[in-house]
Amino acid sequence: MDDSKVYGDWFDTCARLVSARRVPEWDLVVGHGPVIATAVHDGHRMRPALVPHLAVDRAERRRDEDPMTGLFTEVGDVRLRVRTSRFEVDLNRPRGLALSTDPADTWGIRFWKGPLPREELERSLAIHDRFRAMFSELMERMIDQWGCVLVLDIHSYNHRRDGTHAAPADPQRNPDIDLGLTTLDPDRWGAVAERFTRELGRHPVNGRKPDVRANVRYPTGGDFPEWVYSNWGPAACTVSIEYKKVYMDEWTGQVDLEAMEDLRGGLQAAVDAVRPEFLACR
């Protein structure tokens, strides 16, 4: 690591990188290695001042968060799970849309009764600013230490929006695992992305091999991986992972632990398969 560089105050460097600050909005575990696993939509926490403005109950809000995705971050050397709800601040959107009350920004669902007070918007934007500052320093330090990093941007999505007894969404347009691969340098990381995809598809989930495809549901990617790519280019290989909620009932919240473990095991195998590429950057 380049000791001459000037960093912020989110991390200390002893023998290894360690987190120097704790905040209530996210949990961060810093280990030793070039893999960063994030779950920026896992959280359900919401500050009390916002709750009276909500037009939905807790169950409806939880349905459109990404519950349990924080458990998948166990595959990373650095594990980042956001505790704050995406509806308090969406860290996968640009700053100006980090807290939107427009249903056009939330799949046509009205989550808020109306416009929010300016001071509440500013509080959410301040979280967005702190997160980007922290992650910027983390990326700089990790790249200095390892040369390149693998960033896993982990999410989930609903496929039974018409109700638990209605037919699920068309599987042709809704793979079990949809990989976002548009925010990585294809010349530098294309072969790694292909190996990662193949390995995920090899590991059965509830007795069958999952349907793993790329750029189906979200072909343009989210703002967080785009921001990583625009700032660190080929030094970062960002893979956005969208798990269809085959691991839970998206209406009741009941989790299928066997499916969860199958998916986590497949993700661990995919990380292990490509890890040597990132260790070789040093």
Amino acid at 273: A
Q: Please tell me the pTM assigned to this model.
A: 0.93
Cα–Cα distance, 163 to 37 (Å, whole number): 31
Which ranges of 31-183 does DSSP label H, i.e. alpha helix?
A: 58-63, 69-72, 118-146
Strands 236-244 and 212-214: unpaired
Superfamily of domain 11-279: Zn-dependent exopeptidases (3.40.630.40)
Q: What is the pLDDT of residue 8?
A: 84
Q: What is the pLDDT of residue 62?
A: 95
CB 83 within 8 A of CB 45: yes
Record the tokens describing residue 86, joined without a space: 């995406």
Amino acid at 232: W
Q: What is the pLDDT of residue 178?
A: 97
CB 139 within 8 A of CB 97: no
Query: Domain spans of the chain?
Result: 11-279
The whole-number mean pLDDT for each consecutive block of 10 residues of the chain, a chain of 282 residues, reads 73 78 95 97 97 95 96 98 97 96 91 96 97 97 97 97 92 97 97 98 97 92 95 98 97 96 98 98 92
Q: Which residues contact 94 (CB under 8 A, 6 or more apart)?
A: 223
CB 136 within 8 A of CB 260: no
Q: What is the pLDDT of residue 192?
A: 98
Place of tokens 């660190």: 232
CB 50 within 8 A of CB 243: no
- Angle of helix 257-279 relative to helix 186-202, nearest 10 degrees, comes to 150
DSSP 86-111: TTT--TTS-GGGSS---GGGTTT---
Cα–Cα distance, 163 to 169 (Å, whole number): 11
Record the tokens describing residue 126, joined without a space: 């301040």
Q: What is the pLDDT of residue 75?
A: 98
HSE at residue 243, side-chain half, CA atoms within 13 A, is 30
